[in-house]
Structure 1
Amino acid sequence: NFWMMGDTGPCGPCSELHVDLTPDGDTRGALVNKDDPRCFEIWNLVFIQFNANADGTFTPLPQRHVDTGMGFERASAIIQGTKNLTDFSGTISNYETDIFRPIFDELEKLSGKKYASTLPVTQASHLRSGDGKTRVTDRQDACVTEKIDIAFRVIADHIRTLSFAIADGIIPSNEGRGYVLRRVLRRAVRYGRTLGFHEPFFFKLADVLARTMGDIFPEIRAKQKAIKVTIRREEEAFNKTLDLGVAIFNEAIRRRAFLAGEAERAREHGRDVAVVFPGDVAFELYDTYGFPLDLTQLMAREKGFSVNVDRFNELMTQQRERSRAAQSKIAIEVISEEAEFQPTIFVGYEELDLVCEVAAIDGDVLVPVETPFYAEMGGQVGDTGIAIFGSGDRKVLDTRRGKYGPYFHKLSERIDAQRGDEVRLVVDAPRRRAIERHHTVTHLLHWALHEIVSRDAVQKGSYVGPDKLTFDFSSAALTPQQKRDVEKLVNEKVRENAAVSWTEIPYAEAKKRADIQQFFGDKYGDVVRVVQIGGDPKALNGYSMELCGGTHVRSTSEIGSFRIVREEAIAAGTRRIEAVAGDAARAWAEEEAARQQEKFKMLARKKSDVGALPTFAKEAETAEMLRQIDARAVHLEKVDVDVREWEKKNAKTAEAQLRSRAAEIANELAAEHAGKNSCVAEVADGDGKLLQAIVDALKPKFSGPILLASAKDGSVALVASVPKELTAKIQADKMIQQIAPIVGGKGGGRLESARGAGKDVDKIDNALAEAKRLIAAA
């Protein structure tokens, strides 16, 4: 045969090894590559010697080699299914091996269902049942069993995919290979419904895989806990929306069932009529309920429908456009013919004040030949500052890098200048230093998370600005102790005053260094910049080393005090830490002290004798300010608990007093209405809570309706009660709905109990009279 990886690329002739599983083994290749289960490929030797070109021609490769690939599961199926090639009468299937059987055993134990070894009818009709295994010939009778077996196979196959991938450091997410994993996992969870699972189950299968494959793949055992935690977190998140999404899917299918029937009848008469699942619903399932498109397509195929993918893609495009518009900050106009510019030379690692030449200027956008201004990249915001021209000064509001390398400097307003003019560019130095502190401490935070939490805490994104930093990473929620430990470790490293250095090396060399952090999906040039913390400067022996083009401090002591101010979820399996350092930490401490003071005032208003809040000294060193904040937080937590306990105690006392007063008034009303079945009365100076308590006390004393009214502080309260056996004649909610408007209000409730309110105190007598009339009429 001839093997090609695609329309273009390396290719060459190949020798395929197929196994003939027919009873006599004499088909002589007639079934090869015919999708017949009686003959399948287990090995391929590809002689890579050509490159396929886009024009259809083939060019010999300068280096040629043999690429060999064996199907592990298929080879195992052949060996075990034929008893070492001695008996071909049994079932030969990838799933009838000790690779999958342990997973099936665990699934059977968890679900209470059995794997019956069925095969789809298109395959089963070819195979004999010499070993007594189930064979599907009657599609109708075996439909349920076949669906259960399919679920077993999909789930078992997918737990292997997920476990190995997570062990290799790939985490389910919404982008790239992470989204492939998320789709695989959600497909498996959906098949779990076929086996009756409505609670997380999938993660439990990781233990079986660790037992059976851990000897050959030790990383499966080494990261067994992380694999289970990751899968369980994803499973729990999808379970919350899966059933709702399935309900919406089924409703959409139900609405099209009639059309599907009509289409089937049309096909019987020779007319091809297609009924598709709506792309709008598919997009809703994706956007709101987390259903990957391929999962919706799978479910639709099971019902005999295709999905309107064009409409889905149209809605997806619209969403992306809305997202891009929402995320835009300061708009920087792209100067036409950007590709004609030479890349701007960045000298801002060493210079913050530079006289240079204008390469281009268009209105309020400047492109210089070289610049000390850092352009927004890698999470670090762009620099601001001043541009001084011969004709005047302009503020630089932002700096961005164009596709082909020019740096666009957004000016505060237009300036009369032209190409070749001289301009002095001055970076806002205090702002840059604040950004550098946050960027370097971001590297320390990343390192500390690996040390304290997990090596699998993979960076997913970051923001580095003068006011704060945010760091997104894959992980479960951090415990309070983990947050304290991470913060403590970072501050210890800051105080060590370790050197921060950077050096450029070939990317090929960086790729060989497992201790240099680099990020999947990022594009790197032939030469990369490594930022190192600790060790000998530029010796690439620091404890933290990352590929990074951003700006940094020269030593960790320049960072100042570090504080984590927030840790939260931003997506399934992705956490975000927000933190501050240096002057930003000091500013945060002052703001936090003000927030603490407001909270203390609120608590003191509830209970006046609470202990005084510890003082906060604004003139103290930043580290001391943070210690004061911590002490105040501990005190506030104690005061908060004391106030809540005090409120609970007072509430119980108030409730007892209310019920005592209600019982006393109820006894008086019962005496006044002795011999009557119902009670309609006014209570002095009462609110709705008191009236309800009185009604509750009156219910055992009257067999008919009760209606009470009261006025307090210019408001009218109404409460009605009707015994259940009388609700066919008169209803509490309707009675309130008719009486409340009389006192200028409204209300409602249930047949047996209802409440209302109004503002016209002078009409209470009229309302009571109407209540008596309604009860008498019933």
Structure 2
Amino acid sequence: MEWTGLNELREKFLSFFESKAHTRLPSFPLLPQGDQSLLLINSGMAPMKKWFLGQETPPSKRVTTCQKCIRTPDIENVGKTARHGTFFEMLGNFSFGDYFKHEATKWAWEFITEELKLPVDRLWVSIYEDDDEARDIWVNEVGVDPSHIVRLGKEDNFWEIGAGPCGPCSEIYFDRGEEKGCGKPDCAVGCDCDRYVEFWNLVFSQFDNDGEGHYTRLEHPNIDTGMGLERLACIMQGVDNLFEVDTVQNIMKHISEIAGVKYHDDEKKDVSLRVITDHIRSTVFMLADGVMPANEGRGYVLKRLLRRAARHGRLLGIHEPFLYQVVSTVVKENEAAYPELKEKQSFLEKIIKIEEENFNKTIGKGFEILNQIMEEMQNGGNGTVLSGEDAFRLYDTYGFPIDLTKEIVAEKGFDLDEMSFAELMNAQKERARKARMSQDDVAWADETLGLAGVKTEFVGYQTLEADGKVIAILVDGQKVESAVAGQKATVVVDKTPFYAESGGQVADKGAVSAEGCSAAVLDVQKTGTGLFLHVCEVKEGAVSVGETVHMEVLNLVRESIKRNHTAAHLLQAALREVLGDHVHQAGQLVNAHTLRFDFSHFEAMTPEEIKTVEFIVNSKIFAGLPVETKEMGIEEAKATGAMALFGEKYGDVVRVVNAGGYSVEFCGGTHVDNTSKIGLFKIVSESSVAAGVRRIEAKTGMQILELLQETTAAVHQAAAELKLTNPAELVAKCGAVMSELKEKNQQIEQLNAKLASLQFGSVAEDAKEIKGCRIVSAMMSDVSTEALRTMGDKLRSDASNTVAVLVSVGTERANMLCVCGPEAVKLGAHAGKIVKEVSALTGGKGGGRPDSAMAGVGDKTKIDEALMAVPEIVEKLI
């Protein structure tokens, strides 16, 4: 057993199984492809589920991979222990109905004992308690010492998730030595201590579970194995945990250099080093696979990891953005297996730096608000429990992590109402779930229809009309034989010209008809198994299963969509030409009315850049470039330089759309056959969607004529409102009106200042003396907040022992200000406490610093009564 680097171990494993006739596949993206059940890929077999379930044919019956994985259920424990991490790599070899237990066990043992030379006397094997077949193979064929085989129960050694393929497991353990154990007499394989490390799980998928506890033997059983690469590296390198593995430790060393600390010198700092190290690995790989920071779903997971890492940087004394600097080391340690990291390094650094800067802006405000709330709690005003509402507001509005809130309030000796916070979080998640309902319905329909192995033939590239046979109908989620006039139904046919929503392009619209019946097609969705679901409204007669219907796509809608989709391709090419190669599509929506294109970029485009992009796209339209679509092998497509969607996974055969060589992209959408048919292109808006993601909305063809007509009408209407007969004079007239308004506003401000000054004179005259403090209170009409603050500052500067409570009452609302001079503060006066108590007498709320604080007013009729209580309230404090 020799020390072996993590990158070398990965290659050893994949090469070994290639020698056993396995096809090596690259890691699938962390972003699940066509699987709505997963937020992120969390195991080696997850991306291959469709192959195990028989929904699609695998590229080979024998496959080996090293799969990137993210798991976040234990995120709170990451850093606190050296065991937990969110990012890991899973080595695996898989058989889809080919070899089974004999080969899987033999090759596993051969790899670890002959290739890695792990000492046999320190290896243990566990089997499912009833799996005598596996024991016989391990002992009699593989040659494992029977005393090193342990039987474990269903919970440990039987893999199943509900109905479907399942089976017993065999796990391989490494004995790290008695000194790593718990010391208990019964310490053995399965103990929770650190002595016996399970590092390879062989799943023998040999049964089909009907979901009711009945198991049927599969005719063609499968093999699914998983071995944690980092865990194997710990064994081969003789280290205690993943943070001491070579590639991971090098990342931590870079962080330590930036922070000026050393690992193992201080346990609290070690926690922060582990958090940052793990989270920056996860962040880099997620971003590289197309996950972008967002406020929900996988984007929120990414944002949370980034912000948790940035917070722990603060705990190490780093207050400036620093995570982006560590990206270079993450790339360096992993580029051998994942060369795309190097290609995207600049992009990764920029996105992470922007997120760090945003976090620094928001967390400062969060700290200020939380400290203010806790100050009020410390003064006995609001108990000892931070409300879930306050915690959620900090999280939702200011991006303040809940774990940070919990940590800070605990340090002050307070508790947090986690139950009400969780309720608010669940309500937010429910809203997010509802937003994804249409996608979930498609996945659900696949099972309900029960059409295993059946696909809809799409002929919409060649024609807008076709006859198809109805093979299933759903009404209200239930399979029916027919749908009648007035009903909304989902109709499935064996052949269709209708494009299903995909790749950001909306579905076609049109009609379905047969003798005596007709229906409008409102939407079309495609299931993971290739069935096209036509959402229809039956207009007359009945549509029935088994009958042949005529399907016709609405040409005007399809043509508009084609213009916008081809324009989107030209737009991406033009953006890369003007802004740089870092530009990648981050999302798009193409319909008959507009095109919306999201792309990776780090700042707002300048007017000149927008103008240049518009000019380039229109020049390609006027050039009349031919647009050709062709299906080809993926390697051939890559050789043409065709652009792939960022983070997308493609099959062996792809469709390439080539617009005169200027834009060449992988795309399954519909397009014009010549750019001249787009007509014209106009950018309507450019805006921010998220950190590092911009959005352009644009129009083409007839939509530009509509836009011109609307704009012309608006210009004429504006001119008429300003009494102009010539719209060409509109700009000059607008400038004159604005100058006039500015002058009048200045006059109004001057008059208001004079009025406030007149009111201010009488305020100071009514001052009272209480225990050395000069008490001033007054109510004034329509004084701006700024003027109110100016008056307060003047009162404080006139006498440092001043305590003043001033109220400005307007028609809409009233504002209350309390100021305390330095001498008054020394005597015990506190503006935040005073204004809170005074405003509460009106039903208002507020608070703030000892020297100055603001509050709102509830019932205006109670202001006089509240101001009369000021002397008494101040007297209690001094």
- TM-score after normalising by structure 1: 0.57
Distance 2:711 2:548 in 1: 46
Distance 1:100 1:417 in 2: 61
Q: Who is 1:560 aligned against?
A: 679
Q: Who is 1:440 aligned against?
A: 566
Deviations 1:473-518 (Å, cap 9, x if unpaired)? 3443442244444333322222221111212234575477653525
Distance 1:168 1:732 in 2: 52
Partner residue of 1:231 out of 344, 352, 355: 352
Partner residue of 1:349 out of 438, 456, 461: 461
Distance 1:485 1:686 in 2: 53
Q: Match of 1:348, as an amino acid? A: G
Q: CA deviation at 1:532?
A: 2.1
Q: CA deviation at 1:229?
A: 0.7
2:449 paired with 1:338: yes
Aligned positions of 1:321-720 closer than 5 A: 322-323=431-432, 325-326=434-435, 338-340=449-451, 343-354=455-466, 361-363=482-484, 364=487, 365=489, 367=491, 368-391=493-516, 393-401=518-526, 404-418=530-544, 423-480=549-606, 481-506=608-633, 509-510=636-637, 515-518=642-645, 520-522=647-649, 524=651, 527-535=653-661, 543-548=663-668, 550-593=669-712, 614=728, 639=735, 643=738, 647=742, 650-656=744-750, 659=753, 688=783
Q: CA deviation at 1:382?
A: 2.0
Distance 1:354 1:239 in 2: 58
Q: Match of 2:591, as an amino acid? A: G
Q: Who is 1:306 aligned against?
A: none
Q: What secondary structure does 2:539 align onto?
A: coil
Distance 2:402 2:803 in 1: 58
Q: 1:240 to 1:362 in 2, by over 3 A?
A: farther
Q: CA deviation at 1:375?
A: 2.8
Distance 2:764 2:288 in 1: 75
Q: 1:656 to 1:463 in 2, by over 3 A?
A: closer
Q: What secondary structure does 1:531 align onto?
A: strand
2:153 paired with 1:33: no
Structure number with the bigger relative contact order (C-alpha 8 A, sep ≥ 6) is 2
Q: CA deviation at 1:220?
A: 6.8
Q: CA deviation at 1:589?
A: 3.7
Q: Match of 2:348, as an amino acid? A: I
Distance 1:179 1:695 in 2: 44
Counterpart contact for 1:358–1:366, Cα < 8 Å: no
Q: Match of 1:189, as an amino acid? A: A
Aligned positions of 1:289-304 closer than 5 A: none
Q: What secondary structure does 1:565 align onto?
A: strand
Q: Match of 1:576, as an amino acid? A: R
Q: CA deviation at 1:433?
A: 0.8
Deviations 1:659-699 (Å, cap 9, x if unpaired)? 5677689899999xxxxxx9x9x99x996579999999999
Q: 1:692 to 1:100 in 2, by over 3 A?
A: closer
Distance 1:657 1:174 in 2: 47
Gaps of 5+ in 1: 19-25, 79-90, 119-143, 256-277, 303-308, 536-541, 617-631, 672-677, 741-745, 761-765
Deviations 1:132-186 (Å, cap 9, x if unpaired)? xxxxxxxxxxxx8122134335535654665577678776678999787656544
Q: What secondary structure does 1:351 align onto?
A: coil
Q: Match of 1:440, as an amino acid? A: T
Counterpart contact for 2:792–2:819, Cα < 8 Å: yes
Distance 1:716 1:312 in 2: 32
Q: CA deviation at 1:559?
A: 1.0
Distance 2:367 2:720 in 1: 46
Q: CA deviation at 1:544?
A: 1.3
Q: What secondary structure does 2:508 align onto?
A: coil
Counterpart contact for 1:531–1:545, Cα < 8 Å: yes
Counterpart contact for 2:564–2:700, Cα < 8 Å: yes
Distance 1:612 1:552 in 2: 42
Q: What secondary structure does 1:504 align onto?
A: strand
Distance 1:313 1:757 in 2: 32
Q: 1:76 to 1:646 in 2, by over 3 A?
A: farther
Counterpart contact for 2:630–2:655, Cα < 8 Å: yes
Aligned positions of 1:33-112 closer than 5 A: 33-35=174-176, 107=255, 110-112=258-260
Structure label with greater radius of gyration: 1
Distance 1:27 1:523 in 2: 42
Counting aligned pairs with the same residue, the percent is: 30
Out of 147-156 and 323-332, give the one that drifted further.
Answer: 323-332
Counterpart contact for 1:389–1:423, Cα < 8 Å: yes
Deviations 1:329-352 (Å, cap 9, x if unpaired)? 799997997345964443332323
Counterpart contact for 1:716–1:757, Cα < 8 Å: yes
Q: CA deviation at 1:194?
A: 2.9
Q: What is the count of residue pairs matched by the alignment?
A: 637
Gaps of 5+ in 2: 2-12, 18-90, 114-118, 125-172, 181-193, 209-215, 378-386, 412-417, 474-481, 766-773, 873-878
Q: 1:245 to 1:528 in 2, by over 3 A?
A: farther
Q: CA deviation at 1:196?
A: 2.7
Counterpart contact for 1:720–1:753, Cα < 8 Å: yes
Q: 1:37 to 1:658 in 2, by over 3 A?
A: farther
Q: CA deviation at 1:432?
A: 1.3
Q: 1:521 to 1:175 in 2, by over 3 A?
A: farther
Counterpart contact for 1:666–1:698, Cα < 8 Å: no
Q: CA deviation at 1:467?
A: 0.8
Q: Match of 1:564, as an amino acid? A: I
Q: Match of 1:643, as an amino acid? A: M
C-alpha RMSD of matched pairs (Å) = 7.4
